[in-house]
């Protein structure tokens, strides 16, 4: 096994982690704080890709500007969605699931009606580098850096800002947080907007790498859902990191030796086995350990 092969495997591993993190982080933050699952997440990603493509091809703006615009646009749309749909389902997770499913159908079929079955895509920035016999696309490494940056920013907001303190208080005990003067509805609205903005960013970032079609969200959501199920909503950041690292460790060798389909099946089976033993996901398991430790210290 040459060093070049190892570097190539590492590159694929990093690529998969970036994909899983970007696809799932927004969904996971929404699950952790607002406690609903947004089944229209894939369609929000699709919207991000469409906004980037349209602004790039029609308005001829520079690509990074298009991406920021998509992120802001989808974030605002997410806040509207929270205000008019999600708010009615705070205490009914299955209801939220089904209602956002309706939203997802409306968005994907509406896009199909308005923009047609496909669209001219954005050219991939042509940065490449090579190592040994292998050559790699530099854009994938940029994606990885952005994914890690997104996690770091989320972590900073959660643990080092006043907003983060209020958000964590809302997660832990919403009634008590309200009693202490935290506007939990505001927190939910902002969190949903932030999660949606992350979805929009994901769509924008992956727009140059895939074909732009109305049903493109579905290639993100299957891995995003598995990542969320394994990570659990108890701590979105720890959950997203551990679950993405574990899943890409399983999916990368499977996909590179047996094909993408085996990779996906491997992920599904991993998810089933993990929840059989850790029903609340990895971050739920960590939380249980911490509570048990706290109980021991207290007694």
**Three-class SS state of 65:** helix
Question: Please, what sign has the CA dihedral across residues 38, 245, 252, 11?
Answer: positive
Q: Which stretch binds another protein (CB under 8 A): 49-57, 109-117, 142-150, 185-193?
A: 109-117
Among 21, 99, 187, 199, binds another protein (CB under 8 A): 99
Quick one: 39 or 177, whose CB is closer to another protein?
A: 39
- Dihedral angle at the C-alpha atoms of 206, 211, 236, 66, nearest 10 degrees? 40
Q: Considering CB under 8 A, how many residues would be counted as binding another protein?
A: 42
Strand partners, 135: 130
Which of 18, 251, 48 lies closest to 140 in space, CA to CA? 18
Query: Does 287 engage in binding with another protein (CB under 8 A)?
Result: no
Query: Does 244 engage in binding with another protein (CB under 8 A)?
Result: no
Near another protein in 18-47, by CB under 8 A? 37, 39
The residues near 154 (Cβ < 8 Å, ≥ 6 apart) are 25, 29, 236, 237
Question: Please, what sign has the CA dihedral across residues 44, 11, 238, 273?
Answer: positive
Quick one: 113 or 179, whose CB is closer to another protein?
A: 113
Which of 5, 40, 10 lies closest to 26 in space, CA to CA? 40
**Three-class SS state of 136:** strand
**Three-class SS state of 183:** coil
CA gap 251, 257 in Å, rounded? 10
Near another protein in 118-177, by CB under 8 A? none
Quick one: 104 or 283, whose CB is closer to another protein?
A: 104
Query: Does 9 engage in binding with another protein (CB under 8 A)?
Result: no
Query: Does 102 engage in binding with another protein (CB under 8 A)?
Result: yes
Q: How many CB atoms lie within 10 A of CB 267?
A: 24
Query: Does 209 engage in binding with another protein (CB under 8 A)?
Result: no
Among 176, 273, 289, 294, binds another protein (CB under 8 A): 273
Among 6, 10, 65, 106, binds another protein (CB under 8 A): 106
Query: Does 199 engage in binding with another protein (CB under 8 A)?
Result: no
Query: Does 211 engage in binding with another protein (CB under 8 A)?
Result: no
Answer for the pair 24, 227: CB distance below 8 angstroms, yes or no: yes
Quick one: 94 or 145, whose CB is closer to another protein?
A: 94
- In the shown chain, the binding pattern of residues 75 to 94 toward another protein, with x for contact by CB under 8 A and - for none, equals ----------x--xx--xxx
Strand partners, 130: 135
Which residues in this chain contact another protein in the complex, by CB under 8 A? 37, 39, 85, 88-89, 92-95, 97-99, 101-106, 109-110, 112-113, 215, 218, 221-222, 225-226, 228-229, 261, 264-265, 268, 271-273, 275-277, 279-280
């Amino acid at each position: 096994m040459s060093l070049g092969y190892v570097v190539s495997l590492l590159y694929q591993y990093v690529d998969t982690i970036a994909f899983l993190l970007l696809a799932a982080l927004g969904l996971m933050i929404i699950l952790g704080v607002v406690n609903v699952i947004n089944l229209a997440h894939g369609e929000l990603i699709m919207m991000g890709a469409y906004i980037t493509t349209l602004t790039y091809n029609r308005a001829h703006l520079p690509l990074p500007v298009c991406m920021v615009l998509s992120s802001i646009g989808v974030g605002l749309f997410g806040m509207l969605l929270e205000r008019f749909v999600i708010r009615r389902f705070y205490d009914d997770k299955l209801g939220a699931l089904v209602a956002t499913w309706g939203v997802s159908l409306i968005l994907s079929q509406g896009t199909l009606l308005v923009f047609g079955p496909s669209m001219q895509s954005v050219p991939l920035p042509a940065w490449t580098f090579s190592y040994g016999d292998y050559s790699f696309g530099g854009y994938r490494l940029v994606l990885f850096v952005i994914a890690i940056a997104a996690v770091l920013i989320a972590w900073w907001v959660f643990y080092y800002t006043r907003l983060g303190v209020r958000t964590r208080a809302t997660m832990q005990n919403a009634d008590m947080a309200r009693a202490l003067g935290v506007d939990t509805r505001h927190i939910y609205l902002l969190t949903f907007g932030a999660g949606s903005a992350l979805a929009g960013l994901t769509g924008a970032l992956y727009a140059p790498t895939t074909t732009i079609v109305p049903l493109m969200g579905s290639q993100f959501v299957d891995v995003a859902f598995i990542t969320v199920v394994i990570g659990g909503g108890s701590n979105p950041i720890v959950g997203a990191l551990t679950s993405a690292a574990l899943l890409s460790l399983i999916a990368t060798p499977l996909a590179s030796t047996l094909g993408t389909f085996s990779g996906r099946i491997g992920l599904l089976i991993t998810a089933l086995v993990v929840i059989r033993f850790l029903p609340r996901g990895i971050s739920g398991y960590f939380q249980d350990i911490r509570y048990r430790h706290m109980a021991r210290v207290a007694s």
